[in-house]
Structure 1
Amino acid sequence: MEQVFEWLESLWKDQHPDVLAELAFLEMMQPSLEEAIAALGGKGVTQITIVPVFFGQGGHLRNDFPLLLKECQQKFPKVALSTTPAVGEDLAVLQAIIDCGARVL
């Protein structure tokens, strides 16, 4: 599964080379969100938009993520952190999944 996220990161960097991006995980895999923020902050980034790659507002996003985000904001007060909705809540993402499935019909 980690390979899919690395592929996503690689696609982002290929298509948006002027926008710094770091992959981060909430738990059990590295780098952590804190490590990713530290890496970007170390490159002089002062604003970070976090794009949660989840299909919806499950327990991780409702419970764990807000606490982790608050901790990171306290550890990195000079970096403004913001988030987008979960990618699975975006109509274009849902349509892409439908299109993927429809290709096999």
Structure 2
Amino acid sequence: MVGTETTPADSPTGANGTRRGVVLFAHGSRDPLWRAPIEAVETRLRLQNPDVEVRCAYLELIEPDLLAVAREMAARGVRQLSVVPMFLGTGKHAREDLPLLVHALRAEHPHLSITVQGAIGEDPRMTALMAAIASES
């Protein structure tokens, strides 16, 4: 479920007992319908990985933002955090804004191991899927 909160006692843990989290980081929009695809990924990821805490976070225009989500996860005992930029390419937000936010997170939470994946749209599996979908038209 989107927005479900957990407590430290029921937070997801990895095989070695380390609590893990994934943040799907997207731009944000004032249009409430814009969130639906990102939240669908969040729901699917939770179903596929019940041992991982998954949340969406947004750069601007809507909440929650990355810092708030990471703070909440850290407070619930998450120690390994993966940030997935939900962008088609590595533009200004992924190249400049996101590293600044991650730098602030690392300073605030030195115990938190943070990895940042590449923009999801640049993954060869995603480009192959987009090409396959486009060729259907």
The TM-score with structure 1 as length reference comes to: 0.91
2: distance between equivalents of 1:62 and 1:102? 30
Number of matched residues?
A: 104
The Cα offsets for residues 17-36 of structure 1, whole Å up to 9 and x where unpaired, read as 11111111112211110111
**1:4 offset after TM fit, Å?**
1.3
What letter corresponds to residue 106 of structure 2 in structure 1? Q
1:55 alignment partner in structure 2: 88
Partner residue, 2:130: 97
- 1:1-105 aligned within 5 A: 1-104=34-137
Deviation at 1:95, TM superposition (A): 0.8
Output the amino acid matched with 2:98.
F
Superposed displacement of residue 82, structure 1: 1.1
The alignment's C-alpha RMSD in Å is 1.2
Mapped partners of 2:63, 2:105: distance in 1: 16
- Structure 2 unpaired stretches of 5+: 1-33
Residue 81 of structure 2 aligns to which amino acid in structure 1? Answer: I
Contact 1:22 1:40 in 2 (8 A): no
Contact 1:56 1:89 in 2 (8 A): yes
Equivalent pairs: percent with the same residue? Answer: 29
> What is the CA distance between 1:5 and its match in structure 2?
1.0
TM-score by length of structure 2 reads 0.71
Equivalents in 2 of 1:81, 1:27: separation in Å?
Answer: 21
Q: Which amino acid aligns with 2:96?
A: N
Structure with the bigger percentage of strand: 2
